[in-house]
Amino acid sequence: TLYIFAACNVITIPMVYCLYPESNQRTLEEMNLLFAADSIWNWDAEKNYKLLVQQNPELVQAAGRGVSVVDPETGIRKQSRNLSLDVGAMKTGGSESEDEKTGTTHHEA
């Protein structure tokens, strides 16, 4: 059983190297271009990908990381997002005092 498992692992290494192209840090549009090759070999897929990117740069640029052409729910072009981690500041437009954060109130007698 150990030898069968070892043989399967040894066969898997070149298979993954030759048949599976690198897909890390690529958008879905880039993945479509990557798998558009007619060949099963990794190096042919990468050559075809580079050729398609040179022929269609607008596909890759429009789908850049963090950039969306339209909002899928409304169909309207997205605006830049506020990346502040302070939720209270986003709601009120400024920073909250310590009393507002804890929810305590002070009453004058």
As a whole number of angstroms, the distance between CA 83 and CA 12 comes to 43
Q: What is the mean pLDDT of the chain?
A: 74
Q: Is the pLDDT of residue 9 over 90?
A: yes
As a whole number of angstroms, the distance between CA 26 and CA 88 comes to 34
DSSP state of 76: S
The verdict on pTM exceeding 0.85 is: no
Distances (CA, A) of 18 to 2, 9, 25, 30, 93: 25, 15, 20, 19, 54
pLDDT digits (tens, 9 = 90+) for 76-95: 766 555 444 444 544 555 44
Q: Is the pLDDT of residue 69 over 70?
A: no
